[in-house]
Structure 1
Amino acid sequence: MDKSQTSADGPAPRWRLVGPGLVAAATGVGAGDLVAALVAGSRFGYALLWAAVVGCLLKIVLVEGAGRWTLATGQTLFQGWHGLGRWTSAYFAPYILIWGFVYGAAAMTSSGLPLAALFPAIGLKTWAIGNGLLGGLLVWFGRYALFEKVVAVLVGVMFVTVVGAAAVTLPNLGQIAAGLVPSVPREGGLFYALGLAGGVGGTITLAAYGYWIREKHWQGPAWIRVMRLDNTVAYLMTGLFVAAMLVVGAELLYSANIALAGGARGLVDLADVLGQRYGRLMAVVFLLGFWASSFSSLIGVWNGVSLMFADFAGRLRRLPDNHPDTRAGGRYYRGYILWLSFPPMSLLFLDRPFVLIIGYGVLGALFMPFLAITLLWLLNSKRIAAPWRNGLKGNLGMGVCALIFLVLCLDQVWKLLST
C-alpha cells in the first residue's frame, strides 16, 4: 500500500483514491440501463426521473453493505454466503454458470452493435467476437491498476457523449425539477418506476465490489470512510448517466412520439435520430459513447465476476485463503474468463441475438433479492463487529431494496412463464 494514502488514523478520503466504486458503477451501467431510462423518458416524459434517483440510492446502500462486510470482517462476500449454509452454494453454482453463458453473448452483442453501425462492412458477429476477445485479453493477467485506468477512460467517453446528448436537447429545467417529485403515471407506470429504480447500475456486479476493494489493497475498518466516499461518488455518476438518457427520451422522443426498437438496438436507432436532428457527427459521437458503456460493462464482468468465481471454486475445493488459484490471474479466474468468452459465441449465431439481452435481464433479476436478503442477514450477525453492523437506517434501506427486487423478480418470472 502506498504510504501516502494513509495517516495515523488510517487512510485519508482523497479524491484520487476513488476507483473500485467507479469500476462497479461503470460495469453496472450498460446498454440495458440506458435503454430503460430512454424508454421511460419517451413514454412518460420526466415523470419517472425520481425513480432513477431512488435507484442510485438503492445501489449505494447495497454496494456500501458489500464493501463494509469485506473491510470489517476481512472476508470476501462469498465467504460470508458460505457461512450461511450449503444452500447458498447450491443456488450460486448453477446461477453463475448460466448467467455467465447468457451474459457473455449479450455483452458481446451489445458491444458490437455500435461498431457495426459505424462500420457496417464488418458484420455484427465479427465485432461482437472481437470485443469479447479484446475484453478477455485486457483482464487476462489480472492487473487491476491497468484495468481501472481503462475503465476510467471509458467512463470519460460516456460522460462526454451521454451527458452531451442530453445537453444539446436543451432540457426544460422546470420539468426536470417537477420530475423529482414522486408520481406514478397510469398505464403501467408502477412497474416502469420499479424497474427503473431496480435496474440502475448492475446485478451480480454489485457483489464484485468487495473483490475490487481487495484488488485495490484496501484492508481493515480504517478504509470504510474512503469506501463510502468512493461508492457514493461513483453512483452519483451513475445517476447522472441514467438521468441524462431519460432527458434525451423526454426531450427528443416524447414530444415527437418517436418509437425505438427494443433492446440495445434502440440506442442505434437513437443515434440515427440524433444524426437527423443535429448532424452526422453527433450520431458518431453518441455511438462511441454507446460502445464505451457496453464495453466497460463487458470488461468489468470479465474481471469482477471471474474474481468471484475463483473465490467460489476455491471454497468448493477448500483451498486456503489467498491461494494463487483463487486470485486474479489464477487458473479459476482465467477459466471463467474463457467461459464468458468462447461458449457464448455459439449463441451469437441465433437469428435474433437481441433476445439474449432480454434473457440476461431476467436471469439478473433473480440475483438481486438474494444479494439484498443475504446482506441483511450477514450485516446483522455476530460475524461482524458491533460498530459495523447495520443500524436502523441500514436495515430500512436494505429492507426496501429486498422488497423492490422481490416484486421485480416475481413480475419477471411471471412474464417468463406466461409467454
Structure 2
Amino acid sequence: MPDNEHLSQDVAAAPDAPQQRTQKWRLVGPGIVVAATGVGAGDLVATLIAGSRFGYALLWAVVLGVVVKIALAEATGRWHLATGSTIFAGWRSMGAWTSVYFVVYVVVWGFVYGATAMTSSALPLAALFPALSIPAWGILCGLVGLAIVWFGNYRVFERVMTVLIGVMFVIVVGLAVLVVPDLGATLGGLVPRLPEGSAVYTLGLVGGVGGTITMAAYGYWVNAKGWRDASWMRVMRLDNRVAYITTGVFVVAMLIVGADLLYNSGVSLTEGDRGLLDLDGILRDRFGPVVATLFLIGFFATSFSSLLGVWQGVSLLVTDFVRTSKRASGQLTEGVAERSWPYRGYLLWLTFPPMALLFLGQPFALVVAYGALGAFFMPFLALTLLWLLNSRRTPDRWRNGWLSNLLLTAAAVLFLVLCVNELMNLTS
C-alpha cells in the first residue's frame, strides 16, 4: 500500500506512461491470481471455524489482513518495477544465506504441499463423484494442473485462474447472502475486540487472507503481464488493491456463513480441508442438494486455483534462482522461463513425488519440517522487503515512506508471532 508521498507521485504518472493505461480495468489480473492462490481450502475452514466460535467479532481482523497483504504485494511489485530486476536478485544481493534457505524451503515444502494441494482438490470431486477414490482424484488433479502450466503460457494460466476465481467468488458470496446475515452484527464486527480464547484465531485471520510463498511470485506475474518498468506503477497498485479487496469480500462471506449458519446452531467443523465436507452436509440438510453441490464446486475452484498458482508461481521463483546463480540480471523473459528446465523440473517435483503421500500418508518428521519452514517464509518476505526497499538498491523515488514501513513492520511482527505459535504447536 502506498504512503502519502507515493500517492502524490501516483497522481502524476511517469512521463512514459500513457494515461489510458490506468483506465483499462481489463488489465487487472496478476493481483487476483496471487490473492486467490493464497486462499486455499484450509483458510476457508479456519475462517468458518472463527465465525462459528466467535460470530462476527473478528470481522475487523479480516479487514486488517487485507490491508497488510496489500502492503506486502505492493512492495513486491514495486521492487520489480522500480529496479528492473526480480525479488530473487534482491535476496541474492543480501547474501548467500537467502539462497540456502530458499533451496531447503522449496524442496521440502514443495514435496508436502504437492500432496496437500492434490488432496484438497480431490476432496470435493470425490464427494461429487464417489466412483473414484480421493487418491485417484488427487492424481488426476495433479496431472491436469501440470498440463495446464506445462503447455500454457501466462495468458492461458490467467484466464483459467480468472474462471476459477469467478466461480468461487459467486458461489461463496451467494451462499453468504442465502444465509441472510445480521447486518447490525456484521457492522459491529468492524470494531476491534478480542473475545476470550480468540487470540490465535485473530492472528490466523489477519495472516490468512491470501498469503503464501506465492506473494513473492507477484512481481513475476506483473512482469509476465507486460508491466516491466515504473511507468506501470499506478496500474500495478490498482491491480493489487482490487485483488485484495475482492479476496477480502470472499473471506468476509465465509465468516458470515460461519457466524450465521454455524455459530447460532452450535455446529462445529473438522479441522483442515475435510471441514468443508462437514459444511456440505449442513448445507444439504438446510438448503437441499443443489446448494450443497454448488458449494462443492466452489470448494474445488478454491483448492484447484491454489494448486495452479503454486505450480506456476513457485516454479518461476525456482527458475529465477537458477538464472541469478549464473549472474544473470534483469527480469525473466516471458515464455522462455516456462520452457526452461528449472521451471519444468520443479513442476515435475511438485507433481509426481508427492503422489506417494496420497497413499502412504505424511511422515511425522516431514510434516514438522514442512510446518516449521512454511511458518518462516512470510516473516522472511516482510523483513527482506523492508531491507531492500529502504536501501540504495531501490531508486529514491520508489523507496518506502512511513506508511509502507509501518505496514511492512506490522506484517513482519504478525508473521513472526504466527511463526512462533506454529513452532510451539508442532513441538508440543
TM-score range, shorter chain: over 0.9
Following superposition, the deviation at residue 261 of structure 1 comes to 1.3
Contact between 1:40 and 1:192, CA under 8 Å: does it hold in 2? Answer: yes
1:274 and 2:283 are equivalent in the alignment: yes
Tell me what 1:367 maps to: 377
Identity fraction in percent: 58
Distance across 2 between alignment mates of 1:353 and 1:269: 26
Q: Which moved more, 1:21-30 or 1:319-328?
A: 319-328
Note the 1:19-418 alignment, pairs <5 A. 19-187=29-197, 189-319=198-328, 322=332, 327-351=337-361, 363-418=373-428
| Offset from partner CA, 1:53-109 (integer Å, 9 cap, x none) | 111111100000000000000111000000011111111110111111111000000
Distance across 1 between alignment mates of 2:185 and 2:365: 34
| Offset from partner CA, 1:87-136 (integer Å, 9 cap, x none) | 11111110111111111000000000000011112100000010000001
Distance across 2 between alignment mates of 1:399 and 1:83: 21
- Give the secondary structure class of the aligned counterpart of 1:261: coil
Q: Which amino acid aligns with 1:194?
A: L
Q: List 4+ stretches of structure 1 deviating above 6 A.
A: 323-326, 352-359
Distance across 2 between alignment mates of 1:374 and 1:85: 11
Contact between 1:205 and 1:301, CA under 8 Å: does it hold in 2? Answer: yes
Contact between 2:108 and 2:369, CA under 8 Å: does it hold in 1? Answer: no
Following superposition, the deviation at residue 326 of structure 1 comes to 7.1
- Give the secondary structure class of the aligned counterpart of 1:24: helix
- Give the secondary structure class of the aligned counterpart of 1:343: coil
Tell me what 2:9 maps to: none
Following superposition, the deviation at residue 316 of structure 1 comes to 2.4
Distance across 2 between alignment mates of 1:254 and 1:355: 36
- Give the secondary structure class of the aligned counterpart of 1:372: helix
Q: Which amino acid aligns with 1:409?
A: C
Distance across 2 between alignment mates of 1:325 and 1:165: 39
Following superposition, the deviation at residue 331 of structure 1 comes to 1.1
In the superposition, the TM-score normalised over structure 1's length comes to 0.94
Contact between 1:326 and 1:333, CA under 8 Å: does it hold in 2? Answer: no
- Give the secondary structure class of the aligned counterpart of 2:151: coil
In the superposition, the TM-score normalised over structure 2's length comes to 0.92
Length, aligned pairs only: 412
| Offset from partner CA, 1:132-151 (integer Å, 9 cap, x none) | 00001001035011110101
Following superposition, the deviation at residue 357 of structure 1 comes to 9.0
Following superposition, the deviation at residue 256 of structure 1 comes to 0.6
Following superposition, the deviation at residue 365 of structure 1 comes to 1.9
> Structure 1: any 5+ residue segments left out of the alignment?
1-5
In the superposition, relative to structure 1, how do residues 60 and 367 fare at CA in structure 2: closer, same or farther (>3 Å)?
same
In the superposition, relative to structure 1, how do residues 50 and 357 fare at CA in structure 2: closer, same or farther (>3 Å)?
farther
Contact between 1:64 and 1:228, CA under 8 Å: does it hold in 2? Answer: yes
Q: Which amino acid aligns with 1:120?
A: P
Distance across 1 between alignment mates of 2:329 and 2:215: 25
In the superposition, relative to structure 1, how do residues 362 and 37 fare at CA in structure 2: closer, same or farther (>3 Å)?
farther
Q: Which amino acid aligns with 2:248?
A: G
Contact between 1:264 and 1:354, CA under 8 Å: does it hold in 2? Answer: no
| Offset from partner CA, 1:313-349 (integer Å, 9 cap, x none) | 2222445654799712211111110000001111111
Contact between 1:165 and 1:248, CA under 8 Å: does it hold in 2? Answer: yes
Distance across 2 between alignment mates of 1:297 and 1:356: 21
Following superposition, the deviation at residue 13 of structure 1 comes to 3.8
Following superposition, the deviation at residue 403 of structure 1 comes to 0.4
Contact between 1:27 and 1:296, CA under 8 Å: does it hold in 2? Answer: yes
In the superposition, relative to structure 1, how do residues 320 and 379 fare at CA in structure 2: closer, same or farther (>3 Å)?
closer
Distance across 1 between alignment mates of 2:294 and 2:363: 25
Q: Which amino acid aligns with 1:286?
A: F
Distance across 2 between alignment mates of 1:308 and 1:123: 33
Distance across 1 between alignment mates of 2:126 and 2:205: 28
Tell me what 1:3 maps to: none
Tell me what 2:5 maps to: none
> Structure 2: any 5+ residue segments left out of the alignment?
1-15
In the superposition, relative to structure 1, how do residues 296 and 355 fare at CA in structure 2: closer, same or farther (>3 Å)?
farther
- Give the secondary structure class of the aligned counterpart of 2:354: helix
Following superposition, the deviation at residue 199 of structure 1 comes to 1.5
Distance across 2 between alignment mates of 1:384 and 1:145: 29
Following superposition, the deviation at residue 364 of structure 1 comes to 2.4
Distance across 2 between alignment mates of 1:401 and 1:117: 37
* CA RMSD, Structure 1 to Structure 2 (Å): 2.1
Distance across 2 between alignment mates of 1:60 and 1:346: 37
Distance across 1 between alignment mates of 2:323 and 2:54: 48
Distance across 1 between alignment mates of 2:367 and 2:259: 24
